[in-house]
Every structure is written in structure tokens, then in C-alpha cells.
Structure 1
């Protein structure tokens, strides 16, 4: 490593890394920032069991997560668009290992406070399965749209997407078994993934991020129930956004650090942080030691006796836009909802299905927060005609009453580009487009043509 190459980085960043790493590790660290970015995915076990992509290697700290030898063109992979896997940076999947080492109840309510684009939210959704509820929040509208899309693709129906400032959650004090704060940060750990971030880095921005993170943590500490957990993570290296914020949390005097066991061969830097009479544990991923990007994580448990979480409200549900309706208003192919443990809601002409066990929590959240999506969108009625929702096609809900149209690779891409296509002898009516056993969306055969109902904003624009 030459001085010229190191000097491409801000001087203060070089200095801080000299304080974080032994001298012998400085050259390989900066060398790693010039290497290609590792590619990794996490599969959706509700849709597939093994990656279909060749040359994959399991990530040891996260089941269902894999490194790929080469980065394929995900945009032209229909299986990606089905929600069968998520392209997630390997280090961030460490959250899976953390969850498996916590003493959580069988039924949980989680909050991902800074959730976009959705990698950790979809991981939490899979962990919760049909026994828990996730609120995934993102305050920035454009990022919230991406989060919503990824939650819809994942298709589990156990998630509420909200768009709120962390301070807006004050009415849900001590309501969550787990709160994840994957805080907005200076992004030092993503320098090789986003080279522009190097030029944007400054000491002033680091301090601005640290201040913003503490404001988010001030809100988060109130939301964790006694006995529940707070997970704090960043994708940056500096102590101002990491250890100093760990100390800030311990200074609240309501949390203890949680020791998560790790395997030595993983090459994760585990450290013990002492603050007063308290101890916390931190986990750092450095790209010269781990086949992934930079990550910092610390786990805390709120002091106090665990108590059942109750988000339900005492009064009947009244909302200016969301109302409960009866399943008889749905078309016959969706009447399975009458017998399933699913409650039906309506916004305008659009219907949503939510597992009945989550309804009390949803109703209270809906009266306090800006709800952008919840459960599974089933469809809408336009001029007395039923149009099934794309989210329903990608969901795990039953679809036995619909016919399938199984397409090959080229035809699937035509569909995903929202281009017109025609097939001989296709049955009339609503058809589920299916590729290799995975649903991609809806089309409707009118006899003389087939209408493509793939969402316009999601279409593949690559030719």
C-alpha cells in the first residue's frame, strides 16, 4: 500500500482508523477498501429452500444467507422479482445470529425504527413468522416507497409500514419486545460500495450523524418494554457514532449490555465497553477481516421484570380512512378469508387482509401513526369490477381458486417489463403469472388480448 493510495482518504479518517486498528492492520484495511464489493443474498424460506444461483457459499452467522462468487444481473432474474430472496450485505445478516441468542417470548412485537430499504426488516419478518408483528418505519418518503415494495415482495403479511419521525411513537411507550435502531450514519463502512461517500465524509458530518443518532435513541429507549431488547447498529467505524452512543445508552441507567457469543473463525472484532459500573459488548466487522462491509452492532436489555406487551385499545376502532368490513364484500375466489383467521379492512376501494391476532395492535398503531401499508393488500373494486392486488399475488395467502399461466424465462421478462404479450389457448379471466413455481403477478385474458397488470412503477426498464 503506497502513501498516495492512503492519502486519497480524508486525513482525519486515516487518523481515526489508526486509533481503532493495530498498526499492522492499517495497510490491509485500506487495501480492502479498493477491492470489489462482495455479493451476498438471503433467501426467503417461505418461498424457496436453496439459492438457485450457482456457486454460493453459506454465511456462517446467518441461516438462509449466502455469498455469491460473482454478482449476477439481479434485475433480469424473475425469481428476484418474486420476492424469493433479498440482496443483502453479508455483515448486516449478523442480526439473525443476534436474534437466535436472545431470550424472546414465543409471540413478539418488533419495531424497526429506521427500516429502509428493508433488508433487516425482511429478516425480522422471517424470524417472527406467523407468531409476531413487525412495525417497519421510515420517515423519508422516497425510502419508504422502497421499504414498502420490499415488504410486499417478501409476502409474509406480518408487517405494518409506517412513515413517522421517531418522536411520533411516544404513545407506544414500553410496547415492544425488540426495537432495532439501524441508525442513519456517515457510512464509512460502505466506502468501497459507494466511492462518492469518501468525498462527502467530514468530521462535521460525523458529529451531525452522532447527534441525530442520540435523538433517535432518546425515542427508542422509551419504546422497549422491561425485559425487552434494543439493538443499535451502524455501517460506520468511528467511535463518535458507535462507542460514544453505547455509553450514552448506558448512561440512561435502564439498560444492560447483552453478551452475544461468536465463533473466533468469523473474525468479528468483539470488544467490551465499560461505562461506570456497567459493561456492554460491541461487534465490529472490518472488510479486511470479514468478507463483508463495515458494521457496528451492540445489544441491550431493558432493566425490569418482563411483562406481556399490550398495544390494544379500549375503545372501538375509529379511523378517518381505515375501516373494518365483512368478507362477504369480497369476490368468491377470496371467500377463504371467512374461514381463515384474517380480518378484513378497507381504505377507499382497496381491501387489506390482516391476521386476526394482530388486529388490536394494528388498531392502536393506526390511530397514532402514519400507516403506509399493512398486512396483505388483496385488491380493489373499480366500477363494480374486482381487480386483485399485486401484493396478493406475491403473498403466501391461498390462491387455489385462480388459474395459473406458467411462463418461460423470456416471456417472464416480457411480463416484468410490462410489455404486451399473447399466448395461445390461455384460459380467460384473471391469471397468476408463474415462473418456476413462483408467482410474479397478475394478467387478465380478455380473449382478444391479455392485459398485463404488473405494477408500472416496478417494471424492468432495462432492454
Structure 2
């Protein structure tokens, strides 16, 4: 890796933070290639074939010794793991060490979906994640990753932070991985280095304050706010803690650290007490630059419950009656009770226990995806969706067929295939027992239902 040229003003900033001797180590680390890391999906059984080593602050995260072609790995396309930067997986340690109560979580700036899928895993069937992205094209990527993860507890929305105002005090946890100047990504992203300037830092800080001015009010009494960036400077980090404690009532939260992790704890003195931030430097930690702080809303802060919506009316979403819902759950062999909705003649399912929260969200926000889309019901037959294939829900009543690597890649490329001994009708294609999607064997030809827009072109 050739030497990375850092902006002069950035070097001065980092020397003031680290000192000259530490800065030299930092600069040397920035000139080294970063390690690739993945986070496994416990909802899908998968054992990596590559050499791996554990990331110390996460149960599901691992470093890889070399970077494979993820695009050409059917297990990646099946949602068996997510390629995520190691430092940001520290959020798992935050959740588990604080034993943050499960419930309704919001990831306000969620694309491409690494942190949302991490929250999804932590919650399991005990909560839901509203994964929001303001930019429409990025919301589409977020939707794809939520579908691949497959746990059915993610609602993807496409909204500006302003649109959340009716939901103040609604969320048990609000996570904001804020758009930032990207200093922590300098060795991975040449564009971040080119765009950096002191003025850009101030612009990012101003944008972050606008977002956090909305986000702070969304946390219910007793709930948590997690704020993170991939920067080192204090304007986008410690000064944001000052801003939040001036605008809202929050209580400090300190996270237990293993000294061997080399994560640097910083302290911010405020009239409400000493607050804490945690900074990851690439010369100290095997990971990229990262900053995170956790704040707790006092129990006395306002809390908004979803309330009962007597007659749910939505422009495009229709609630399915209880008799049909019971029949669906029984027919499909789903454990637990589902709440079902129809959208464009397709049937969606979410967990029954969160349907009031979902309906409240649906009335105020622009939905891009929710729960699991099962497909269309025509008389007694299902036309199953790709979303159902990738979900962890059972697919009772459908045949499945295990393919080898070459057949899996042909399927993912939507190439014409002839597969001997394939059952007639709808067939779930699997690779290493991981569902990839559907084909329909008509006897004289094979129809591949893998989404065109997801097709591998390599």
C-alpha cells in the first residue's frame, strides 16, 4: 500500500490530540491495509471456510486473514454474514454490557444496514428495528440487506429526521451513526481524504446538531441514545455530547472496557455530570477510526405509548382480519402469532406483539419494507416471494434442492439451467443448507425467480 497523503490541517489536528510521537504511529497505521471483518448471522447456520480470528468485543464478529470475493460467495448472498468494520461492532458490547431493554429501536441514519442488522440480531423476537435512511437510493440498499438478514424484525423507512416529530418519546433506543467528515475512513476511502477540510468538519458538525436536535427527543423515559461517528475531532464528538446535554435531560453512561482492547475513554464535564466517549484509533485497535457515546434518558422523561388504533386506515396498506391470520399461521406452520397486511396484493407478516407500534409508525413514516413479504395467495396456492425464501420463517409444503457452488452461481446469475432430478413445481434452492431463492420447475423448462436487480454480473 503506497503512502497516504494526509491533509496538512488534519495532521496538525491529530498532533494536538495525540502528540507527535503517537501521531507518527497513527500515520504509520493509516498506511497499512485494514483487516477485513465479518459478522455472522446467528439466525442462519453457517461455518466460514476461511481462516478467522475473533474480534474481542463481539460474539459474532471475526477478522479474516484475507479478503475473498464476497460477491461470488452464495453464503454472502444468502445473508449468512455481513461484511462490517470491526470497530463499529462495539455496539454489540454496549447493548450486552448494559443489558439494554429490548423493544422498539430506531436506527435513524441506517444505510447500508450494518448496525440495523446488528440491532436486529440483539432483539430477535423481542423487538423491532425501524431502520431509516433519508436518501432514496441508499434506502433501497438498506432494504436489500434487511431482506437478506431475514429475521423479519426490521421496518425500513425513507424519511428526514423532521418527519419523526410525532414519535417523540416512542423509542427504547435511538442509534444515530451520524454523517460525518470520515476521518476514520482515510486509509479505506481516498475520497474522504480529498473532501476533508476544517470547514467540512464544521459543516458536518452543524448537520449533526440538526439531526441530534430531533433524535434526542425521540428517546422515551428510561431509554438510551447511542451517537457514533467515524471521526477523531472533538467538534463532531465530545462537543456533540455538550450540545445534547444542553438541549435535553440525559444521564451519563459508562461502558466497561477490557484494557487489552486499547479503546480510549474520554470524559466530558457538563452541569449534569461527567459523560463518556469511546474512541478507536487504528494504531491502537485492529479496526478503523470510530467514536461512540451512550446517554440515558431519565425515567421521568416523557414516554409515548402506541395506543389503540380503532380502525387502521392507510393509503396502500390493508390489515387482514383475525380469522384469516389464524388460518395463515396454522397453514404455514409459523410459531407465535403473526399480524398480516396486504400491499399490492402481496401478503406481509410481522410479529403480533408489535403490531400497534408498527401501525403507529406506518401512519407517520414512508415505508420501504417491513417484516417478511410472503408473496401472493391465489385460491389455495402460494406464489412465494424471494423475501420469504431468505427469511428465517419456515417454508413448509415446498420442496427444496441443495446445489453445488457452480449451480448456485448459475442460479444467482439467472443463467439458463438444467438440473436433473429437480422436483416439479416450486422449489427452494439451497447452498450449504442456506436458502438462495425459488425456481419453478414446469417439467419442460425451469423458471428462475431470483430478483433481476440482484443478479450477479461478475
Using the size of structure 1 for normalisation, the TM-score is 0.94
1:137 aligns with 2:142: no
Partner of 2:434: 438
CA change 1:247–1:53 in 2 (3 A) is: farther
2:18, 2:282 → 1: CA distance?
A: 12
1:16 counterpart SS class: helix
Structure 2 contact 170–219 (Cα < 8 Å) conserved: yes
Structure 1 contact 313–363 (Cα < 8 Å) conserved: no
Partner of 1:415: 411
2:419 counterpart SS class: coil
CA shift digits 1:291-310 (9 cap, x unpaired)? 11000000000123488762
1:342, 1:253 → 2: CA distance?
A: 37
CA change 1:226–1:332 in 2 (3 A) is: closer
CA change 1:328–1:227 in 2 (3 A) is: closer
1:39 aligns with 2:50: no
Distance apart, 1:397 and its partner CA: 1.0
2:273, 2:223 → 1: CA distance?
A: 18
Distance apart, 1:396 and its partner CA: 1.2
1:246 counterpart SS class: helix
CA shift digits 1:112-137 (9 cap, x unpaired)? 00000000000000000001111110
1:415, 1:332 → 2: CA distance?
A: 30
Structure 1 unaligned blocks of 5 or more: none
Partner of 1:196: 191
CA change 1:245–1:174 in 2 (3 A) is: same
Partner of 2:352: 356
1:101 counterpart SS class: helix
Distance apart, 1:274 and its partner CA: 1.0
Partner of 2:6: 9
Partner of 1:228: 223
2:416, 2:328 → 1: CA distance?
A: 28
CA change 1:413–1:333 in 2 (3 A) is: farther
Structure 2 contact 216–248 (Cα < 8 Å) conserved: no
2:417, 2:318 → 1: CA distance?
A: 38
1:218 aligns with 2:220: no
Structure 2 contact 37–85 (Cα < 8 Å) conserved: yes
1:259 counterpart SS class: coil
2:185, 2:238 → 1: CA distance?
A: 19
Partner of 1:318: 313
CA change 1:314–1:28 in 2 (3 A) is: same
Structure 2 unaligned blocks of 5 or more: none
Q: Of residues 271, 279, 288 in structure 2, which corresponds to 1:284?
A: 279
Task: Within 5 Å, give how 1:73-222 maps onto structure 2.
Answer: 73-105=69-101, 107-222=102-217
Q: Of residues 20, 24, 38 in structure 2, which corresponds to 1:23?
A: 20
Moved more, 384-393 or 111-120: 384-393
1:383, 1:314 → 2: CA distance?
A: 30
2:89, 2:329 → 1: CA distance?
A: 38
CA shift digits 1:206-249 (9 cap, x unpaired)? 11111110011011111101111000000111111111111111
1:320 counterpart SS class: coil
Moved more, 264-273 or 247-256: 247-256
1:338, 1:62 → 2: CA distance?
A: 30
1:205 counterpart SS class: helix
CA shift digits 1:266-321 (9 cap, x unpaired)? 01111111123521111000111111100000000012348876223443211010
Partner of 2:362: 366
CA change 1:240–1:382 in 2 (3 A) is: farther
CA shift digits 1:298-354 (9 cap, x unpaired)? 000012348876223443211010001247599989822688511110111111011
2:411 counterpart SS class: helix
Aligned residues: 456
CA change 1:135–1:40 in 2 (3 A) is: same
2:221, 2:324 → 1: CA distance?
A: 42
Structure 2 contact 3–31 (Cα < 8 Å) conserved: no
1:63 counterpart SS class: coil
CA change 1:333–1:346 in 2 (3 A) is: same
2:111 counterpart SS class: coil
CA shift digits 1:361-406 (9 cap, x unpaired)? 1111000000110000111368998431111001111112100011
2:216 counterpart SS class: helix
1:311, 1:438 → 2: CA distance?
A: 37
Distance apart, 1:11 and its partner CA: 1.5
1:65 aligns with 2:55: no
Structure 1 contact 157–395 (Cα < 8 Å) conserved: yes
**Superposed CA RMSD:** 2.2
Structure 2 contact 221–303 (Cα < 8 Å) conserved: no
